[in-house]
Structure 1
């Protein structure tokens, strides 16, 4: 893949993540894998950019609740660590794609109905600790927990645009730091000046395009976009 094409991929998905909270990992991971990058190479490209955007979003005034963060730290992050450790230690990716994709597709379809959305939110509330454990494992093993994280944050924050994105940004930031730290520990060869380039591309995309688009995105459009990203992500995982 040409260098300019890689830059274009980063700009597009950085802008999407700036608006929706997810994009670089959800879309960037399968895109780069399809284009011939290894799983480890893909992580080394998308993680620095994703961490940068999530950090910029987290330091903004709109934030998720402290209870959300405390519970997420306790029940999700340890399993992200375990998942990444297992994958990198064995130097292979665990293919949970069809199962995760099916779950996301069903979840996205449910979100199309306000009545079913209420039922789903109640389910997540009832089993939220177990859900976060599964989220951590799935993301650690496959780098594809973005749809699950978006669904969780949207349900916990009742679909509120600012709180949903803030929750996703917080989760992505800490999960990304864990993943990236372990990646560099197992593969120090990925430490290079290119990291700075990926971060700069993400930051510029966020400040010039993504932030402005997010401010002008209406609540309903944001909800529909979240639903669309979950459905699309599910289809990509099922049929790739």
Structure 2
């Protein structure tokens, strides 16, 4: 595995262990900044995301909010698959899209009006879940919207954590399946540090 990817994974894994997010939220823009393309970035991060989140699921599966999970399967997953398929088959500046979304996340924490608007959207759950699917399919960063939704429901810590974890893992599984169906192969060697596909 290339040294820069290994360093990025160690950093984001530490952040994940401390704050509950990090692998995708920080790993995706970080690998893109290092010059790796979007599909390759997904092929590196998603298996790790699945492993970390499934550990949480196995530990607390009795606390999963299955009502929300079923709605995510119905209203978010199809849009994740569709827009990931689209974004991997057209030429678009993924970095710009991710940058805009990260600015939105930052502003949300600064301006209460943006936070309030997001909470208003959450009341229309089906539409919110569809938007979340579109965002995650295009940027791999829909998890921040997922976290906001689950926290807004006011569940206990165990329910919140494991519901977020099962949803994250499911996102990642369907993203990997989509990459497989479209024929993407990362060709990433895990035993050396040769360069990998980068954006040109």
TM-score, normalised to structure 2's length?
0.80
Question: Aligned runs of 1:65-214 on 2, under 5 Å?
Answer: 65-90=65-90, 92=92, 95-97=96-98, 99-109=100-110, 123-156=120-153, 158=154, 160-190=156-186, 194=190
Give 1:27's aligned residue.
26
**RMSD over aligned Cα atoms:** 3.0
Find the aligned partners of 1:25 and 1:16 in 2 and give their Cα distance: 11
Q: Distance in 2 between matches of 1:14 and 1:91?
A: 30
CA distance in 2, matches of 1:185, 1:191: 16
Instruction: Say if 1:10 and 1:97 are closer, same or farther in 2 by CA, change over 3 A.
Output: closer
Say if 2:43 and 2:186, in contact at 8 Å, map to a contact too. Answer: yes
TM-score, normalised with respect to structure 1: 0.68
Which residue of structure 1 aligns with residue 39 of structure 2? 40
TM superposition shift of 1:86: 0.8
The Cα shift of 1:139 comes to 0.4
Match of 1:52 in 2: 51
CA distance in 2, matches of 1:160, 1:107: 24
Are residues 190 and 121 of structure 1, via their aligned partners in 2, closer, same or farther at CA, if it must alter by over 3 Å? closer
TM-superposed deviation, 1:73: 1.2
Count of aligned positions: 190
Q: What is the CA deviation profile of residues 15-63 of structure 1, one whole-angstrom value per residue up to 9, with x for unaligned ones? A: 3224433211110011111111111111111111111111111111263
Q: Unaligned 5+ residue runs, structure 1?
A: 198-240
Indicate if the aligned counterparts of 1:138 and 1:144 stay in contact, CA closer than 8 A.
Answer: yes
5+ residue gaps, structure 2: 193-200
Q: Distance in 1 between matches of 2:160 and 2:83?
A: 25
CA contact (8 A) 1:124 1:152 kept: no
Q: Which structure: greater helix fraction? A: 1
